[in-house]
Amino acid sequence: MRAISVRRGHPLLTTALKINPQSPIDHLLAMFADWGGLLQYYLAMGVDLSKLIERIPKAELHLHIEGTLEPELMLALAQRNQIELPYADVDEIRRAYEFSDLQSFLDIYYAGAAVLITEQDYYDLTWAYLERAASDNVRHVEIFFDPQTHTDRGISFATVIYGIYRALQDGETNLNITFRLIMCFLRHLSADDAMNTLEEALPHKSCIHAVGLDSSEVGHPPSKFVAVFDRAREEGFLTVAHAGEEGPPEYIWEALDLLKVERIDHGVRAIEDAKLVARLVDEKMPLTVCPLSNLKLRVFNTLEEHNLKELLDAGLCVTINSDDPAYFGGYIGENFRQSQRALGLSAEDIYLLAKNAFIASFISDGDKKRYIQELEMAMK
Ligand SMILES: [Zn+2]
């Protein structure tokens, strides 16, 4: 069976069609499909790629470890640490996860983080994510952590990082998942606060590969953090930044020119600026796109309207990621599956998205080659 990719989904199409490349009639259909985007979409929609999605090796590059806290673990940690939650049971927490906007998401997000106290809590949180990632055949992760969410509550930097790092090391040994750790600054806090956090991180430099920028984007442009990022690069860290999720394309320009980032996290609003798209293509700048997150936070009203396929067709190095999966309705496999169905992604698109993630990762060229070979084997 062959899937043909198309630019955009069409809501009126509901029936599935499959084509066989050996069949002359189907071949004719495919030719028509090449002329008509609607039929192309129709054909791609009919192909079930869930098995392919399940078996391909994946890299996840945009994942906040605090955003993987499932209600069951939140409750267990609250009991272990004798913390009173404003929720009586798992069902009530799950209902609170049905937030309606960014603020209601942040409320539950920070309430959840408050149950993380000991090094073992951070270990358990990270380990639970890695087990889920392994079940999605994730082979490499580059995870974010937000030290300020914890140090501001009096938790030591060492407690946070040792718990996370030890789980990542165990994940490499026991689950065969390689990793990089990225420290994010909360952009709604001051640049001085970020600089202090960077200073605090320096004794643990060997555990941290890169620094990033997350939290509420609008009103907190990358330009606010130039000095921190300059210092971070001097210290040998690579840099990434959330930009162009809710914020305008200008924030992406700033992330590139002022913060000298290696990747843009989200970046979906780049499409509004043709010059920017041309530059991103030219520089092969990766975008770590998070479809279900964008849906839940209303960056797009429906997944069918998401511009992931458009960005991919424009030649951008697009990757699929889960962002805060406990809160946004799905881990990386689910992001792939739902995007494939909603946008009619072809097998070639799936291959490209998975390959882009390995290319965009911070591993060695040798490891990239090895993972891409693994991916190619899985496509057969
Ligand atoms: Zn994010």
> Which string of b and e fits 65-101 if b means at least 16 CB within 10 Å?
bbbbbbbebbbebbeeeeeebebeeeeebeebbebee
Number of Cβ within 10 Å of residue 203's Cβ equals 11
What is the pTM for the complete model shown?
A: 0.88
Task: Output the CA 41–ligand 1 centroid distance in Å.
Answer: 30
142 catalytically annotated? no
Task: Output the CA 332–ligand 1 centroid distance in Å.
Answer: 13
Task: Output the CA 64–ligand 1 centroid distance in Å.
Answer: 6
Residues 209/238, Cβ–Cβ less than 8 Å: yes
pLDDT along the chain (380 residues), means of 10: 32 37 51 48 64 97 97 96 92 87 79 94 98 98 97 96 98 98 96 98 97 92 97 98 96 98 98 98 98 94 98 98 95 98 97 98 98 96
Q: Tokens in use for 338?
A: 């739902």
Question: Which class for 204: exposed (0-12), middle (13-18), buried (19 or more C-beta within 10 A)?
Answer: middle
Task: Output the CA 23–ligand 1 centroid distance in Å.
Answer: 45
pLDDT of residue 216: 84
Among residues 47, 17, 62, 50, which one has the least CA distance to residue 292?
62
Choice among 60, 66, 119, 245 that is catalytic = 245
Task: Output the CA 338–ligand 1 centroid distance in Å.
Answer: 19
CA dihedral 160, 161, 166, 172 (to 10 degrees): 130
Task: Output the CA 361–ligand 1 centroid distance in Å.
Answer: 16
Number of Cβ within 10 Å of residue 26's Cβ equals 18
Measured CA angle at 118 (ends 114, 120), to 5 deg: 120
Task: Output the CA 371–ligand 1 centroid distance in Å.
Answer: 24
pLDDT of residue 319: 98
Task: Output the CA 54–ligand 1 centroid distance in Å.
Answer: 23
Task: Output the CA 103–ligand 1 centroid distance in Å.
Answer: 15
Task: Output the CA 81–ligand 1 centroid distance in Å.
Answer: 27
pLDDT of residue 11: 32
Among residues 334, 293, 326, which one has the least CA distance to residue 128?
326
Task: Output the CA 7–ligand 1 centroid distance in Å.
Answer: 26
What the chain holds in terms of domains, given with CATH numbers, is 1-47 (no CATH), 50-69+118-379 (3.20.20.140), 70-115 (no CATH)
